[in-house]
Structure 1
């Protein structure tokens, strides 16, 4: 059986037959070596299907699952073995895709943060639909405050972070999901990370531009944290580049 691939950058408007066809594929549990992200549109509601077969509703202005982060999702879903599975953080959660994967993985509590109110609504809708509403805590945060300011006495066993990769000014909430001038958000995240990781805590950080990777490599030297590359993939999507996922620990 061949996997059917749909480009997520081209939102499709299928008829009812096509929608049921894709639903049938998952209900019948067709298996593929490399699960793909499917996308379809039903009126003003856009849905993605993740690596576990979740149909994820994504509200307007919210950054949906990207083909470029597929390797990261598959790594979390199938290969990553957490040291402990207590509290997890999905920073800049967007559609909540990583939060759902972490809930499926077995984490006891997942904080999913974003600066976009529509993203928080998206996460609440999907967490409720999947039965994860008792596990996932969506939090609307202020970008001008500390990244982890919402934590009180808790430490994180895992932090998942797929920050904006492009070093460009952002003029809207939607653009802030893609652009981060001078990589200010990434820098602030790395400065605060050591203080909130548990003793055996880890972070997975996904970066797709060389400028973002340079910031990571320079800032991580200022901490006592260690890192290793767990994913590195060359790609050509609109323009050539590479995805690198770093695992950070004490």
Structure 2
């Protein structure tokens, strides 16, 4: 077996070292905890509350982002939607706007002096906390789902759907039993990107004052000056991320999208265009 050339190995080792330094720092900092109080630091009730709130936000963002991305991906690939290319471009534009800008915009809508009160004449409630973080992160991250699903729709072989319709299945049944299973790789890839972004997000959750691991780590460092506690919170977050990557790898191992032989027919929208 031939060895890989050194000019390919060297960048890999440099990248591995760059990734390993923060991990080594966290482990060394976490081991500074007093052995007698280690269990109290690691398994404090606050950590479990942060785990629950982080997972709650992640699941909510995954659901809302998917509800936004799936219809848009279907419309731009399977229908005669006018200006479909422009719609595809608009669908990914939220990635060009930082999430904290979206959070600022949502916060500016509420209150007696907010944009809602000046435009509508009726003060709107503040969108903060869980609801504000959910809306802001969903609007920002749904393009990760959309791009994966759109590519998957374009690769599907329409012959399978035509065979299902020939066997008497209605359009909704064809979509549920034939199309959706083939979209599983796109679901897992897009969902992984969305979940990892929610795990790492700080700007939105800090503005919305919603407690997640990333926000709590910052507070531990900046206000409590508890670097040991912050290191353990970071290790909790890394464990959660590693668990997500493990299950994503298990799901993606057996999932494979079929490649189309010819483009699928376009559904005419009629007056709905």
TM superposition score normalised by structure 1: 0.23
Higher RCO (CA 8 Å, separation ≥ 6 residues): 2
Higher strand share: 1
Larger Rg over CA atoms:
2
Higher helix share: 2
